Amino acid sequence: MHESLFEKKFSLLKAWESPESIHHFLTTHAQSTRAILCSSVTPITAEILSLLPSLCVIACENTGVELIDLMECRKRGIYVTNAGPAFSQDVADMAVGLLLAVAMRIPASDRYIRARGWSDHQCFPPRTFKLRGKHVGIVGFGNIGSEVAKRLEAFGCKISYNSRKQKPSIPYEFYPQVIDLAYNCNVLIICCALTDQTRHMINRDVLKSLGENGIIVNVGRGPIIHEQELVTSLMSREIAGAGLDVFDNEPNVPNELFELDNVVLTPHRGAFTEEVFSNAFKLTMANLEAFFSNKPLITAIKQYD
Amino acid sequence: MHESLFEKKFSLLKAWESPESIHHFLTTHAQSTRAILCSSVTPITAEILSLLPSLCVIACENTGVELIDLMECRKRGIYVTNAGPAFSQDVADMAVGLLLAVAMRIPASDRYIRARGWSDHQCFPPRTFKLRGKHVGIVGFGNIGSEVAKRLEAFGCKISYNSRKQKPSIPYEFYPQVIDLAYNCNVLIICCALTDQTRHMINRDVLKSLGENGIIVNVGRGPIIHEQELVTSLMSREIAGAGLDVFDNEPNVPNELFELDNVVLTPHRGAFTEEVFSNAFKLTMANLEAFFSNKPLITAIKQYD
């Protein structure tokens, strides 16, 4: 989308236009390449990195960097930047939108009316979930988590959080174990990155702790929740509902969910607005410009904690 | 729902249990009745009032009092109370939930996934409506309007409002004409009461002023919007979308809306939670207790401005 603007500032090697294999292309043309521009759908493996001896920085136009071999980058001293802050407000909006949609049964209500259930005086269950006073647990308190907290405070929710470590600057209660957070909360909102530590972190035990009146929202990455256990929990009403923007094996969604009225599904569109892409582009440009002029990177991923 | 609790405190005449006509029942049994307890679905006409010579107060368990002849009450010095504050937070939640659902196309996304559009790689339009920085116009700045403003400020929206008169205590810009508010805003949220002045206040001219990128949300009363003109505006894309909890002729909704992806429909459930009914009951009780012990009413409707 922004290729021509990038080309004005940088000398761009277009691997995707070459008929050569990526291995051959990189060994032949990219030996002096100092930066990679990538999106979160491109794996940057240790093998790719081994073909790029001059590489110093990987600038990712998205938020998730789970397909980049961060351990190898760390070993080689390669910086990784993402465009997280450009997305965080829109993703936070989506998290709250999904929570409200589940709590107020908005898509289910919309289906009920369009199927003429209301005009035919068919029964429709009342809302039972009042937001005010509810205790919301935020899993992963980075840019997105803090934006979610700001929004839900305005609805009268109490906020607590779980993350890798406690953050002294955050005024909310910290739970070192996500299962304890779930046990104490009415809502769990997943905003963390996908890592080896967070993969399948939300399993059936955590969902059972959240309980039969609890709602879970995921705007992080699909595999943070054990999807099959979530399906089981939802079908057996161990939790009250789920709002999901991300899935284990996108674009595939477990078919069992299609039958459930207490689930709201969106196709990984949390941050899918034109303004966001434009802001992400600007931030990626700014990171690369900072790198090439020896200034501090703006949104470097912390690889060392 | 709370009948037995009322009976413990008050001597209750149950008009609805009598086989007599309401006229006969009131003239025979209710001549010393000092208070009416009613909901917003019961018309209290001048004729009914004329049958109740001792009446001093009408306590409404809901918010809307449009079926009560307020002019006649004013003439006779009859107080009217409602339970508005018990509902305002939940209705504000619904207003924001509907706005997010329309802006992020949440029910349309949910339909798309359930119809296997995503897994079949069918096209789906991106979100184009970023909430942050948008200008939201609130029509009717009472309990609900102020709760909506509080929530949307946390999303980074700019707030302005229209109401019968400017309120000096409110920090937002006031627009005396709703059409000017619409012209200057990206979103219009209808939170006012239905009166002779507000009926059909939102007509096609106001919608055209809101414009093709604008979203309208109605959690007030259906007839505040000219429904057929709204349908026309939506079908011809004069506005971008609508979130509607209330309609002109409930439970009937214009069939044309069922075909539109940019509309979100809920069956007048803004405040339909158990906790809300319990709070509304407590507030109604408190108003009646205040009246019978000669204390100031808690939520008297202002009939004189």
Comparing A58-67, A151-160, A291-300, which segment has the lowest mean pLDDT?
A58-67
Q: Which tens digit of pLDDT belongs to each residue from B76-115?
A: 999 999 988 888 999 999 999 999 999 999 999 999 999 9
Q: Where are the alpha helices (DSSP H) in B38-153?
A: 46-50, 70-76, 84-103, 106-114, 143-153
Q: Which tens digit of pLDDT belongs to each residue from A191-209?
A: 999 999 999 999 999 999 9
Q: What pLDDT was estimated at residue A303?
A: 63
In this predicted structure, the answer to whether residue B305 has a pLDDT above a threshold of 50 is: no
Q: What pLDDT was estimated at residue B255?
A: 97
CB–CB contact A109 B276 (8 Å): no
* Tokens standing for residue A204: 């059936």
Q: What values do phi and psi take at A126, rounded to 5?
A: -70, 160
- H or E stretch covering B38: strand B35-38
For the question of residue A221 being annotated catalytic, the response is yes
Catalytic amino acids of B? 221, 250, 268
If you count residue pairs, one on A and one on B, with CB atoms under 8 Å apart, how many are there?
159
Collapse the DSSP code of B149 into the 3-class scheme (helix H, G, I; strand E, B; otherwise coil) and give the result: helix
Residue A273 is nearest to which of B106, B130, B276, comparing CB atoms?
B130
Burial class (CB in 10 A: 0-12, 13-18, 19+), B282: middle
Percent of chain A with pLDDT over 90: 80
What is the rounded CA–CA span in Å between residue B174 and residue B140? 11
In this predicted structure, the answer to whether residue A238 has a pLDDT above a threshold of 50 is: yes
Residue B126 is nearest to which of A93, A104, A272, comparing CB atoms?
A272
- Chain A CB contacts of B151 under 8 Å are 151, 154-155
Q: Return the number of other C-beta atoms located less than 10 Å from residue B298's C-beta.
A: 15
- DSSP codes, B176-231: SSHHHHHHH-SEEEE-PPP-TTTTT-B-HHHHHHH-TT-EEEE-S-GGGB-HHHHH
What is the rounded CA–CA span in Å between residue B130 and residue B79? 45
Q: Which tens digit of pLDDT belongs to each residue from B4-48?
A: 888 888 999 998 899 999 899 999 999 999 999 988 778 999 999
For the question of residue A2 being annotated catalytic, the response is no
Tell me how close the Cα of A158 comes to any Cα of chain B, in angstroms. Answer: 15
Q: Where are the alpha helices (DSSP H) in A67-142?
A: 70-76, 84-103, 106-114
Comparing A76-85, A93-102, A131-140, B271-280, which segment has the lowest mean pLDDT?
B271-280
Q: What values do phi and psi take at A11, rounded to 5?
A: -85, 115
Q: Which of B273, B275, B277, B278 to mutate to test the interface with A (most CBs of A within 10 A)?
A: B273
Q: List, as ranges, residues 115-134 from B with C-beta within 8 Å of A.
A: 118-119, 121, 124, 126-132
ipTM of the modeled complex? 0.85
Q: How confident is the model at residue B303 (pLDDT cuts 50, 70, 90)?
A: low
CB–CB contact B267 A153 (8 Å): no
Q: What pLDDT was estimated at residue A275?
A: 76
Q: Which tens digit of pLDDT belongs to each residue from A160-177?
A: 999 999 999 999 999 999
Q: Return the number of other C-beta atoms located less than 10 Å from residue B296's C-beta.
A: 8
CB–CB contact A153 B155 (8 Å): no
CB–CB contact B155 A155 (8 Å): no
| Whole-number average pLDDT of chain A | 93
- H or E stretch covering B159: strand B158-162
Collapse the DSSP code of B71 into the 3-class scheme (helix H, G, I; strand E, B; otherwise coil) and give the result: helix
CB B185 within 8 A of CB B161: no
Query: Which residue segments constitute the domains of chain B, with CATH numbers given?
Result: 3-82+273-292 (3.40.50.720), 87-265 (3.40.50.720)
Q: What pLDDT was estimated at residue B279?
A: 86
Collapse the DSSP code of B158 into the 3-class scheme (helix H, G, I; strand E, B; otherwise coil) and give the result: strand
* Tokens standing for residue A205: 């035990």
Q: What values do phi and psi take at A91, rounded to 5?
A: -70, -40
What is the rounded CA–CA span in Å between residue B61 and residue B83? 5
What is the rounded CA–CA span in Å between residue A181 and residue A175? 6
Collapse the DSSP code of A265 into the 3-class scheme (helix H, G, I; strand E, B; otherwise coil) and give the result: strand
CB–CB contact B104 A97 (8 Å): yes
Is the minimum CB–CB distance between B276 and chain A shorter than 8 Å? Answer: yes
Closest chain A residue to B115 measured between Cα atoms?
A: A258
Residue A269 is nearest to which of B101, B109, B132, comparing CB atoms?
B109
Q: Which tens digit of pLDDT belongs to each residue from B197-253?
A: 999 999 999 999 999 999 999 999 999 999 999 999 999 999 999 999 999 999 999
The gap between the terminal CA atoms of chain B, to the nearest Å, is 34
* Tokens standing for residue A59: 């600038």
| Whole-number average pLDDT of chain B | 93
CB–CB contact A253 B156 (8 Å): no
Q: Cα torsion at B116, B120, B124, B130 (round to 10°)?
A: 70
Q: Which residues contact B173 (CB under 8 A, 6 or more apart)?
A: B160, B161
Q: Which residues contact B246 (CB under 8 A, 6 or more apart)?
A: B218, B219, B220, B221, B222, B268, B270
Catalytic pick from A250, A269, A275, A289?
Answer: A250
- Chain A CB contacts of B276 under 8 Å are 130
Is the minimum CB–CB distance between B160 and chain A shorter than 8 Å? Answer: no
